[in-house]
Structure 1
Amino acid sequence: MSLPSPTRRGRRPVRALAAALLLALLGTVTACGSSSDGTGSASSGASADSGAFPAKVATKFGTVTVPSRPARVVALGWGDAETALALGVQPVGQSDWLAFGGDGTGPWAKGRYDKSPQRIGTLEPEYEKIAALKPDLILDVKSSGDRTRYDTLSKMAPTIGVPKGSDQYKISWQKQTTMVSRALGLADEGRKLIAATEAKSAAAAKAHPEFKGRTITVGSRTSSGWGAYVQGTDRVNFVQALGFRNNPDVDAKAGASFSVDVSEENLQMLDADLVVMAPIGVKAAKISTDPLFTSLPAVKAGHSVVFEGDSVLSRAFATNSVLSVGYAVDHVVPLFAAALK
């Protein structure tokens, strides 16, 4: 069983995430003026990177060329739509990995769409829907890295897939933002967003010196069992930016997936200075009242955080996009600080 990275949701219903969480199309867009028809225009505040087109983006599948400024973007990867929105571009279609509903994004992206996008499946993209949107750019940056998926999408439009070494959603929000901004001709704007967001995380780390060097386990429980996330994944990237060190016992078991399975017999492996858990497809009480979980030394000492399954906080922490990081810093970091007191 592999822990769910982005919540495993297929076309609409919640999927039983296998052992841990899971996980745009354009045309010609003007550099100013917000799109009122949902065609992916850049907002008035966005400026194209100098000499942006044709834009070239290196991916696992080779260098992808975007010939001209895209106007119809479809964003399929985990957090790809939020990244485009942060750059002032409104995808015409997107995947809603965490089942937010509405526009498919969290409150940190509220009001960034003038027109709601077409909802596209996550693990199993609805290719007919995508083709019907007539995309001129597809973003599938934070994704599984599956070759068949990429080949199918790239027949419809230039597709920005995962970078080398980033299969199974193992890509930082910084790299995601860099790739998306280059594809959209907004590399300068992307650099500014990264700098501002990194500064906010750095300020939080400075304000909480008690985080530095402390070990942390970030995991979840699904109907299939327990799991913990490894280095290079969203949640771990977030806590490491705050100064935490990922549980070395978890990383020692890391493979190609974004998480490792943890059997009940080996649940003590989750113990760390701070244990952070989220339920996926089960009630939070399934974690917080479990005798094996409550027997962990960290939990006994009160050094644990258990998110509610569909809470905004849990999903902000899980999304870890250039837009959601700031929200998570403001609302999740205080929970960590309180748990370590």
Structure 2
Amino acid sequence: MPIPVPGAPRASVRSSRLRAAVGVLAAGLLLSACGGGSTAAPSSSAAPGSTSATTPASSAASSTAAASSSAASSAPGSSSTAASSSAAVSAGYPVEIPNAFGTTTIASAPQRVVVVGYTEADSVLALGTVPLAVQEFGFPGKIGGPWLDDLLQGQTPTVLTGQELNLEQIASFTPDLIIGVNRALTADDYAALTAIAPTLARPAEYPDYGVPPEAVARTVAQALDKGPEMEAKLAEVDQTISAASVAHPEFAGKTFSAVWPRGDGQGWYAWTAVDARSRLLVALGLTESPTIAGLGQDTFYKEISAENTAQIDADVIVAIDVEGQRATIEADPIYQSLPAVQAGHVAWITDPAVIGAFSYSSVLSTPYALDPVVEAVAAATA
């Protein structure tokens, strides 16, 4: 997984799911009007703690929002920030956050957060909020890696699975903030999510899965009105990375390729400088291979065919082994012909938890991944 891995599912919403979601929202309005339970989404006119988005939503979603606001404030399982309705009001709101599809307006402090992006749960938890639901990524059935174990405050967020956005499920949480910065949302996806609750999406200046981890963290922090807290955490991570770089001056000037072998001997995925893993290696003092850089920076990875394996050669090759392919790769004559391989300058990362942390590259996972990644690179450059 890259920030998501190549082949990570693009978020897509079929028209039938859109119709179904509108039906769910309309049903929630009817139930609320009749005094029954509601799974519909709150909107800007809801009780304290609700939020709003500037992207126009359907009339059905708009009318549903007012009826569902009381359900959102009283339903069980609220995010841990929901101590009281009065606590939701903050001098930092309203907040407007631009994105690739428009501008998200958050009227007051979010209380019911749903994360549909692949890595943003780390930023949310780092700031003391436990989301109601989190997109599964890298750790099947879990909300994330072992670095999150002590941050759940006894709560158990729902794990969102599958390759498509499940609008009905998302709406059932009555969220007042949906976070999807690190997901390949389309304009239709964004509109559908915004009809449920204000939604954070990637900034326009970055490609899908190409938002720098610190930008992801700052976007989440802005939405939660915890900018100073996040800046302190980011500074701590930066200091740790800087210390590792200083401790390994031999990294300076060394070129690298960061790769993942494709299945069935089809070649390689090579992460570009857009990807968070490559960004971390650059921060440690390494330099992206000119060959990989020459393939373009418009996406976070490039595919390299098996016959072009020579393109991954560099002073050091950093490779992850997600599917136990290392032995097969090392038996390949083309791979064995690479100068880096012959010199022993390949840093294989095989621990699943470290691979996950390296891929998340978040404010929480980077410290977990840093030592093992640095040790592997140091051994490969010796």
Which residue of structure 1 lines up, in the alignment, with residue 268 of structure 2?
226
TM-aligned CA deviation for residue 290 of structure 1: 2.6
CA contact (8 A) 2:181 2:200 kept: yes
SS in 2 for 1:210: helix
Structure whose residues are more often helix by fraction: 2
Which residue of structure 1 lines up, in the alignment, with residue 235 of structure 2?
195
Choose the corresponding residue for 1:185, options 199, 214, 225. 225
Q: Which amino acid is the alignment partner of residue 221 of structure 1? A: P
Q: 2:352 and 2:170 mapped to 1: Cα distance? A: 30
1:338 maps to 2:379: yes
TM-aligned CA deviation for residue 43 of structure 1: 10
List per-residue Cα deviations over 1:268-308 (Å, max 9, x = no partner): 11000110112344533233333222221101111102222
CA contact (8 A) 2:88 2:110 kept: no
Which residue of structure 1 lines up, in the alignment, with residue 78 of structure 2?
39
Choose the corresponding residue for 1:155, options 195, 200, 208. 195
CA contact (8 A) 2:309 2:334 kept: yes
Identity score, percent: 32
Q: 1:167 and 1:200 mapped to 2: Cα distance? A: 28
1:336–1:28 distance in 2 versus 1, CA, 3 Å: farther
Q: 1:122 and 1:188 mapped to 2: Cα distance? A: 35
Choose the corresponding residue for 2:335, options 285, 293, 307. 293
Moved more, 121-130 or 65-74: 121-130
CA contact (8 A) 1:219 1:276 kept: yes
CA contact (8 A) 1:304 1:339 kept: yes
CA contact (8 A) 1:174 1:322 kept: yes
Q: 2:82 and 2:242 mapped to 1: Cα distance? A: 28
Q: 1:258 and 1:49 mapped to 2: Cα distance? A: 39
Q: 2:202 and 2:89 mapped to 1: Cα distance? A: 22
Which residue of structure 2 lines up, in the alignment, with residue 268 of structure 1?
310
Count of equivalent residues: 315
1:109 maps to 2:153: no
Choose the corresponding residue for 1:254, options 296, 301, 309. 296
Which residue of structure 2 lines up, in the alignment, with residue 78 of structure 1?
118
Q: Which amino acid is the alignment partner of residue 270 of structure 2? A: A
Q: 1:186 and 1:38 mapped to 2: Cα distance? A: 22
Indicate the structure (1 or 2) with the bigger Cα radius of gyration: 2
Q: Which amino acid is the alignment partner of residue 90 of structure 1? A: V
SS in 1 for 2:321: strand
SS in 2 for 1:63: strand
SS in 2 for 1:97: coil
Q: 2:282 and 2:77 mapped to 1: Cα distance? A: 36
List per-residue Cα deviations over 1:22-69 (Å, max 9, x = no partner): xxx99867xxxxxxx75222499xx99983111221211222111111
Which residue of structure 1 lines up, in the alignment, with residue 366 of structure 2?
325
Q: 1:289 and 1:125 mapped to 2: Cα distance? A: 40
Q: Superposition RMSD on alpha carbons, in Å?
A: 2.6
Q: Which amino acid is the alignment partner of residue 338 of structure 1? A: A
Which residue of structure 1 lines up, in the alignment, with residue 106 of structure 2?
66
CA contact (8 A) 2:248 2:378 kept: yes
1:208–1:182 distance in 2 versus 1, CA, 3 Å: same
Runs of 4+ with deviation above 4 angstroms: 8-11, 25-29, 47-50
Choose the corresponding residue for 1:175, options 215, 231, 234. 215
Q: 1:167 and 1:85 mapped to 2: Cα distance? A: 25
TM-aligned CA deviation for residue 142 of structure 1: 1.3
CA contact (8 A) 2:202 2:208 kept: no
CA contact (8 A) 1:76 1:140 kept: yes
- What residue ranges of structure 2 are gaps of 5+ in the alignment? 11-40, 50-75
Q: 2:79 and 2:251 mapped to 1: Cα distance? A: 40
Q: Which amino acid is the alignment partner of residue 216 of structure 1? A: F
1:79–1:28 distance in 2 versus 1, CA, 3 Å: farther
- What residue ranges of structure 1 are gaps of 5+ in the alignment? 12-24, 30-36
Which residue of structure 2 lines up, in the alignment, with residue 18 of structure 1?
none
Q: 1:276 and 1:79 mapped to 2: Cα distance? A: 22
SS in 2 for 1:332: helix
List per-residue Cα deviations over 1:201-227 (Å, max 9, x = no partner): 111111111111211100111225312
The normalised TM-score by structure 1 is: 0.85
1:49–1:288 distance in 2 versus 1, CA, 3 Å: farther
1:43–1:291 distance in 2 versus 1, CA, 3 Å: farther
